């Protein structure tokens, strides 16, 4: 029987302190007051002092209230009944349906043993040309989407959730506006993707501690589905809000801050989540796409800066498009040589011409006279942005490659592209020859 403590020695913000023995870090507790009870989580141990973050806040808590430790960390169900459901960051239902209490597993466990991993070699198709063609998403990859406030990153995640060729989608929302949460849910429902999805959503009005729990909830469930031979895609938005929650808690705990007030273990906190991405030997896989907003479009901000050292590339979302420059999938070479024989040449040629187009735009803005080649590049660049870069474009990989050939044929002669003759003969549109 776990002990019940009736003396709270300190209340600071939403953190309470009690003196207790035989308590583990991250252990759950229940705080009972005259107004009811609220869960709390151990966030720090110091000698015999135990610091707990109260989910519902410390309002109404007195020093004589009851604190009962439950003897286990936060748990989440790994049942198949989770599919189609929506929960809070602490696992409570958001959809007015009963809670699921079978197959409970602890969250926040260690990452997978490297000996159980295999080298990623399978593509995840999304129907978005800027991903499928130019920065292919690979199973078990961990990639951030670097963005600024105001960009349609949540809309991008919703599209990926609808279209990605995977078995299970797990969406983790941190600090979402309520209408953004509803938009996610309604979009998935309208397009028939909700039945294969699980949503863990922390809104801006929810307790801050639940924001910290969302990634662990998502990844614990994802691991169980992957062990059942499922291809799982975990979508997280926004990891900067997660880091801000860590910062707020650390400030409350009077911890010595590091860069810009963030805790000194920010890197390890982020890495502990991202390293859950895995392709299991003989089972399924976990792939992670996580939005990371950059305050002031500053890539040296501590959150994107630390993230870049952990992940395998990044997508840059600017002006409503995935930018070809700066965006990188370091694992794309594992798969884009096996898709179609022209994949790599289309990827390289179109990006090369787009770089030339950007230089031509600068010449044009400075009043330089445009040559016939410059006019070809300008035509090409406009078509590339409209027909390939626009996030509303939704076509399979093969159709995107065919479209790439068509754009090249409409703007250039075959000899101007620098593409090998055998590929020209095989793929160049016949009506353009």
At residue 209, the pLDDT reads 86
Please report which helix (H) or strand (E) contains residue 169, including its range. Answer: strand 168-176
For residue 118, report the phi and psi dihedrals to the nearest 5 degrees. Answer: -120, 160
Q: What is the mean pLDDT of residues 169-196?
A: 93
Do 373 and 271 lie in a common domain? no
Do 63 and 115 lie in a common domain? no
Q: What does the mean pLDDT of the chain come to?
A: 91
Decide if 218 is inside a domain.
Answer: yes
Last residue of a domain, one of 333, 360, 384: 333
Instruction: In whole angstroms, give the CA distance from residue 103 to residue 141.
Output: 27
CATH number of the domain that residue 19 is part of? 2.40.10.170
Decide if 168 is inside a domain.
Answer: yes
Last residue of a domain, one of 333, 363, 397: 333
pLDDT band at 2, cuts 50/70/90?
low
Q: What pTM value is reported for the model?
A: 0.92
Q: What is the mean pLDDT of residues 239-244?
A: 95
Residue 328 has pLDDT above 90, yes or no: yes
Do 302 and 272 lie in a common domain? yes
Find the DSSP H helices in 293-369: 302-310, 343-365
Percent of the chain residues past pLDDT 70, beyond the cut: 99
Residue in the structure block whose two tokens are 């079978």: 102
Do 282 and 350 lie in a common domain? no
Residue 67 Rama label (left phi>0; alpha psi -120 to 50; beta) = beta
Q: Which of 191, 187, 157 is nearest to 174 (CA)?
A: 157
Decide if 338 is inside a domain.
Answer: no
Instruction: In whole angstroms, give the CA distance from residue 170 to residue 399.
Output: 28
At residue 277, the pLDDT reads 95
Do 325 and 374 lie in a common domain? no
Do 218 and 114 lie in a common domain? yes
The bridge status of strand 197-203 relative to strand 142-147 is unpaired
At residue 424, the pLDDT reads 94
Instruction: In whole angstroms, give the CA distance from residue 391 to residue 411.
Output: 22
Do 85 and 39 lie in a common domain? no
Decide if 396 is inside a domain.
Answer: yes
Decide if 383 is inside a domain.
Answer: yes
Which is more confidently placed, 22 or 129?
A: 129
Q: What is the mean pLDDT of residues 140-157?
A: 93
Please report which helix (H) or strand (E) contains residue 355, including its range. Answer: helix 343-365
pLDDT band at 163, cuts 50/70/90?
very high
Do 241 and 311 lie in a common domain? yes
Please report which helix (H) or strand (E) contains residue 66, including its range. Answer: strand 66-73
Instruction: In whole angstroms, give the CA distance from residue 303 to residue 308.
Output: 9
Do 350 and 327 lie in a common domain? no
Residue 1 has pLDDT above 80, yes or no: no
Residue positions counted in the chain: 433
Instruction: In whole angstroms, give the CA distance from residue 173 to residue 201.
Output: 4
Instruction: In whole angstroms, give the CA distance from residue 85 to residue 245.
Output: 25
At residue 121, the pLDDT reads 87
188-208 burial string, b = 16+ CB within 10 Å, else e? Answer: beeeebbebbbbbbbbeebbb
Residue in the structure block whose two tokens are 């907003």: 293
Percent of the chain residues past pLDDT 90, beyond the cut: 67
Decide if 361 is inside a domain.
Answer: yes
Instruction: In whole angstroms, give the CA distance from residue 116 to residue 252.
Output: 39
Do 176 and 296 lie in a common domain? yes
Residue 384 has pLDDT above 90, yes or no: yes
pLDDT band at 249, cuts 50/70/90?
confident
Q: What is the mean pLDDT of residues 34-53?
A: 88
Q: Flag the least confident range among 176-190, 246-260, 368-382, 383-397.
A: 246-260
- Are the C-beta atoms of 346 and 416 separated by less than 8 Å? no
At residue 18, the pLDDT reads 93
Instruction: In whole angstroms, give the CA distance from residue 10 to residue 85.
Output: 38
User: Domain total for the chain?
Assistant: 3
Decide if 56 is inside a domain.
Answer: yes
Q: Flag the least confident range among 248-257, 273-282, 341-350.
A: 248-257
pLDDT in tens, 195-217: 999 999 999 888 888 999 999 99
pLDDT band at 433, cuts 50/70/90?
low
pLDDT in tens, 392-427: 899 999 999 999 999 999 999 999 999 999 999 999
Q: Which of 145, 235, 237 is nearest to 196 (CA)?
A: 235
Instruction: In whole angstroms, give the CA distance from residue 367 to residue 228.
Output: 62
What SS3 string covers 134-164?
CCCCECCCEEEEEECCCCCHHHHHHHHHHHC
Decide if 400 is inside a domain.
Answer: yes
At residue 118, the pLDDT reads 87
Last residue of a domain, one of 313, 333, 353: 333
CATH number of the domain that residue 234 is part of? 3.40.50.12240
Do 294 and 235 lie in a common domain? yes
At residue 129, the pLDDT reads 95
User: What angle is formed at CA 317 by the lines to CA 133 and CA 272, rounded to 5 degrees?
Assistant: 90
Residue 259 has pLDDT above 90, yes or no: no
pLDDT band at 59, cuts 50/70/90?
confident
Residue in the structure block whose two tokens are 């709270």: 8
Q: Which residue range forms the structural domain that includes residue 44? A: 4-73
Do 154 and 232 lie in a common domain? yes
């Amino acid at each position: 029987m776990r002990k019940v403590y009736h003396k709270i020695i300190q209340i600071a913000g939403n953190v309470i302190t009690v003196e207790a023995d035989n308590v583990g870090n991250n252990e759950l507790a229940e705080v009972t007051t005259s107004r009811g009870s609220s869960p709390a989580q151990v966030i720090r141990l110091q000698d015999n002092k135990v610091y707990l973050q109260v989910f519902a806040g410390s309002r109404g808590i007195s020093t004589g209230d009851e604190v009962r430790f439950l003897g286990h960390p936060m748990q989440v169900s790994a049942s198949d009944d989770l599919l189609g459901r929506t929960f809070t960051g602490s696992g409570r239902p958001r959809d007015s349906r009963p809670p699921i209490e079978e197959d409970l597993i602890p969250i926040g466990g260690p990452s997978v043993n490297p000996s159980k991993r295999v080298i990623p070699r399978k593509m995840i198709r999304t129907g978005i040309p800027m991903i499928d063609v130019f920065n292919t998403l690979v199973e078990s990859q961990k990639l951030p989407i670097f963005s600024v406030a105001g960009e349609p990153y949540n809309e991008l995640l919703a599209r990926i959730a609808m279209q990605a060729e995977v078995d299970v989608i797990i969406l983790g929302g941190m600090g979402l506006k309520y209408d953004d949460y509803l938009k996610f849910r309604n979009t998935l429902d309208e397009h028939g993707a909700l039945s294969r999805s699980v949503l863990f959503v922390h809104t801006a009005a929810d307790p801050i501690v639940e924001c910290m729990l969302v990634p662990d909830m998502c990844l614990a469930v994802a691991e169980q589905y992957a062990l059942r031979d499922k291809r799982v895609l975990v979508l997280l938005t926004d990891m900067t809000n997660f880091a801000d929650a860590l910062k707020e808690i650390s400030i409350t705990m009077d911890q010595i801050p590091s860069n810009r007030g963030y805790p000194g273990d920010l890197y390890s906190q982020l890495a502990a989540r991202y390293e859950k991405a895995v392709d299991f030997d003989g089972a399924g896989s976990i792939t992670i796409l996580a939005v990371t907003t950059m305050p002031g479009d500053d890539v040296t901000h501590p959150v994107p800066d630390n993230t870049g050292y952990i992940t395998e590339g990044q997508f840059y979302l600017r002006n409503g498009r995935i930018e070809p420059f700066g965006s990188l999938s370091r694992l794309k070479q594992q798969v884009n040589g096996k898709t179609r024989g022209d994949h790599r040449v289309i990827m390289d040629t179109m990006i090369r011409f787009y770089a030339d187009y950007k230089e031509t735009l600068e010449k044009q803005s400075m009043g330089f006279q445009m040559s016939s080649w410059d006019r070809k590049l300008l035509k090409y660049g406009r078509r590339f942005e409209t027909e390939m870069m626009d996030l509303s474009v939704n076509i399979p990989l093969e159709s995107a490659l065919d479209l790439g050939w068509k754009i090249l044929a409409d703007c250039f002669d075959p000899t101007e592209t620098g593409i090998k003759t055998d590929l020209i003969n095989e793929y160049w549109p016949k009506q353009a020859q």
